[in-house]
């Protein structure tokens, strides 16, 4: 494994719309497409992706590219990735892991032998991005009309009563037995009134809410999880934690209903699998969510998800976000992510970029 050589190509992914998040509007997202090859056959490459989110990933720093270049140069000197502690670089670990898996499986973007690549689609939620209330309603209705039966709203940016009216409008048209609603507060609620807000939101038949209060408030989150009528899912709370060292204690104390697994933020597929095992031990469910990766990262997460035992809608509908994504067989349509082998991958060429 330490005989492999590594390189990367940077691509600034351009959003096809105004992408507004709890951390402000983003127009581009830097994707670092990492490739691995053996010197005896340099034309055969395996691909991974390191695309940390600024302001959220622990390796989302201004000098990330410099750090990535230094790490890959160290590997290219003959040092094994296994000899390096990449805890502080979860996106790099994800990229190296998937590039190796792809290479060892023939360099055809097959990370695992799984049902997804043979035609079994993965159910996904339709994401409603932060925007004006009117535009969020339009997004939601459009997704439902396209065939999505699970809709996820980002909330916390508008007045709470206005957001409640938005959900009420959706529920008047689409009852809970027809459309599942998930919420993501991104830690927007204050601990002292979070439970009151969750009780108010519960009347709209909400499936779950992600991270109602900001992470690292363990006592407050434990109380919220215990009193909330809406099942709580942990998201940002997991970032930077080792599932073996901290995961068991965290889950036993807070007792969430769900975990949100983002391999780019958690340190790869292997680390995400450890969180799955911890969730199973505590009888909790989970779903995987992309972190705005290009189709290379999304493909790896989807294939990993396909080998897990889960039937919940996943957060993997981000492939259509960009005007310059890596073209390939992934297609999000009618509430599912599909793999269309007739749509060949159009991968970058390192020697040309």
Alpha carbon distances (Å) from 175 to 33, 111, 167, 172, 207: 42, 39, 11, 7, 12
Instruction: Please report whether residue 50 resides in a domain.
Output: yes
* 353 pLDDT higher than 70: no
Q: Are 63 and 93 within one domain?
A: yes
Q: Are 76 and 132 within one domain?
A: no
Please, which residues have CB within 8 angstroms of residue 308's CB and are 6 or more apart in sequence?
273, 276, 288
CA 291 to chain centre: 4
* pLDDT at res. 309: 82
Q: Across residues 154-169, what is the average pLDDT? A: 96
In the listed set 61, 80, 104, which residue is the last one of a domain according to the structure?
104
Q: How far apart are CA 111 and CA 101, in angstroms?
A: 5
Mark whether 346 is an active-site residue.
no
Q: Tell me if 53 sits within 8 A of 235, measured CB to CB.
A: no
Q: Are 120 and 25 within one domain?
A: no
Q: Are 242 and 315 within one domain?
A: yes
* pLDDT at res. 349: 84
Q: Can you give the CATH number for the domain in which 76 is found?
A: 3.30.390.10
Instruction: Please report whether residue 264 resides in a domain.
Output: yes
Nearest to 339, CA basis, from 330, 351, 352: 330
Instruction: Please report whether residue 13 resides in a domain.
Output: yes
Q: Are strands 336-339 and 122-123 parallel, antiparallel or unpaired?
A: antiparallel
Q: Are 158 and 71 within one domain?
A: no
SS3 track for the chain: CCCCEEEEEEEEEEEEEEEEECCEEEEEEEEEEEEEEECCEEEEEEEEEECCCCCCCCCCCCCHHHHHHHHHHHHHCCCCHHHCCCCCCHHHHHHHHHHHHHHHCCCCCCCCCCCHHHCCCEEECEEECECCHHHHHHHHHHHHHCCCCEEEEECCCCCHHHHHHHHHHHHHHCCCCCCEEEEECCCEECCCCHHHHHHHHHHHCEEEEECCECCCCHHHHHHHHHHCCCCEEECHHHCCCCHHHHHHHHHHHHCCCEEEECHHHHCCHHHHHHHHHHHHHCCCEEEEECCCCCHHHHHHHHHHHHCCCCCCCEECCCCCCECCCCCCCEEEECCEEEECCCCCCCCCCCCCC
Q: Are 96 and 139 within one domain?
A: no
Domain of residue 77 covers 5-104
Q: Can you give the CATH number for the domain in which 208 is found?
A: 3.20.20.120
Q: Are 150 and 38 within one domain?
A: no
* pLDDT at res. 22: 65
- Predicted TM-score (pTM) of the model is 0.96
Instruction: Please report whether residue 64 resides in a domain.
Output: yes
Q: Are 153 and 281 within one domain?
A: yes
* pLDDT at res. 350: 83
Q: Are 234 and 170 within one domain?
A: yes
pLDDT above 70: percentage of residues in the chain: 98
In the listed set 52, 70, 104, which residue is the last one of a domain according to the structure?
104
Q: For the chain, what is the mean pLDDT?
A: 95
* 51 pLDDT higher than 70: yes
Q: Are strands 206-210 and 232-234 parallel, antiparallel or unpaired?
A: parallel
Q: What is the pLDDT of residues 246-292, one digit of tens each?
A: 998 999 999 999 999 999 999 999 999 999 999 999 999 999 999 99
* pLDDT at res. 294: 97
pLDDT class of 26 with cuts at 50, 70, 90: confident
* 2 pLDDT higher than 90: no
Mark whether 172 is an active-site residue.
no
Select which of 143, 197, 262, 278 is catalytic: 262
Q: Are 73 and 24 within one domain?
A: yes
Number of domains making up the chain: 2
Neighbours of 260 (CB within 10 A): 23
Q: Are 145 and 95 within one domain?
A: no
Please, which residues have CB within 8 angstroms of residue 256's CB and are 6 or more apart in sequence?
225, 231, 232, 233, 234, 284
Q: Are 128 and 100 within one domain?
A: no
In the listed set 104, 135, 150, which residue is the last one of a domain according to the structure?
104
Q: What is the pLDDT of residues 85-136, one digit of tens each?
A: 999 999 999 999 999 999 999 999 999 999 999 999 999 999 999 999 999 9
Instruction: Please report whether residue 194 resides in a domain.
Output: yes
Q: How far apart are CA 325 and CA 347, in angstroms?
A: 10
* 184 pLDDT higher than 90: yes
Instruction: Please report whether residue 348 resides in a domain.
Output: no
* pLDDT at res. 55: 87
Select which of 45, 143, 154, 257 is catalytic: 154
Q: What is the pLDDT of residues 202-252, one digit of tens each?
A: 999 999 999 999 999 999 999 999 999 999 999 999 999 999 999 989 999
* pLDDT at res. 352: 57
Instruction: Please report whether residue 28 resides in a domain.
Output: yes
Instruction: Please report whether residue 353 resides in a domain.
Output: no
* 3 pLDDT higher than 80: yes
């Amino acid at each position: 494994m330490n005989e492999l050589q590594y390189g990367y190509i940077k691509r600034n992914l351009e959003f096809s719309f105004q992408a507004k998040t709890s951390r402000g509007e983003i127009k581009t997202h830097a994707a670092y497409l990492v490739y691995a090859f053996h010197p005896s056959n340099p034309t055969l490459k395996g691909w991974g992706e390191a695309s940390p989110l600024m302001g959220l990933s622990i390796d989302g720093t201004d000098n990330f590219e410099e750090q990535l270049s230094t790490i890959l140069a160290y590997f290219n000197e003959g040092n094994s990735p296994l000899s390096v502690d990449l805890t502080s670089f979860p996106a790099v670990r994800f990229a190296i892991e998937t590039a190796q898996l792809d290479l060892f499986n023939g360099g055809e973007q097959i990370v695992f032998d799984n049902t997804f690549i043979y035609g079994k689609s993965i159910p996904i939620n339709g994401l409603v991005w932060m925007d004006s209330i009117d535009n969020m309603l339009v997004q939601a209705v459009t997704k439902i009309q396209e065939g999505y039966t699970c809709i996820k709203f980002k909330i916390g940016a508008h007045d709470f009563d206005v957001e409640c009216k938005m959900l009420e409008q959706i529920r008047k048209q689409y009852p809970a037995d027809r459309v599942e609603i998930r919420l993501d507060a991104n830690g927007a609620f204050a601990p002292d009134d979070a439970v009151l807000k969750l009780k108010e939101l519960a009347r709209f038949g909400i499936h779950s809410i992600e991270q109602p209060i900001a992470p690292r408030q363990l006592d407050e989150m434990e109380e919220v999880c215990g009193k909330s009528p809406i099942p709580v899912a942990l998201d940002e709370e997991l970032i930077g934690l080792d599932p073996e060292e901290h995961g068991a204690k965290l889950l036993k104390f807070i007792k969430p209903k769900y975990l949100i697994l983002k391999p780019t933020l958690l340190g790869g597929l292997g680390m995400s699998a450890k969180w799955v095992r911890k969730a199973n031990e505590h009888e909790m469910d989970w779903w995987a969510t992309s972190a705005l990766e290009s189709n290379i990262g999304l493909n790896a997460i989807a294939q990993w998800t396909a080998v897990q035992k889960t039937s919940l809608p996943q957060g993997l509908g981000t492939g259509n976000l960009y005007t310059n994504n890596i073209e390939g067989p992934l297609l999000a349509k009618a509430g599912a992510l599909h793999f269309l082998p007739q749509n060949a991958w159009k991968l970058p060429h390192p020697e040309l970029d």
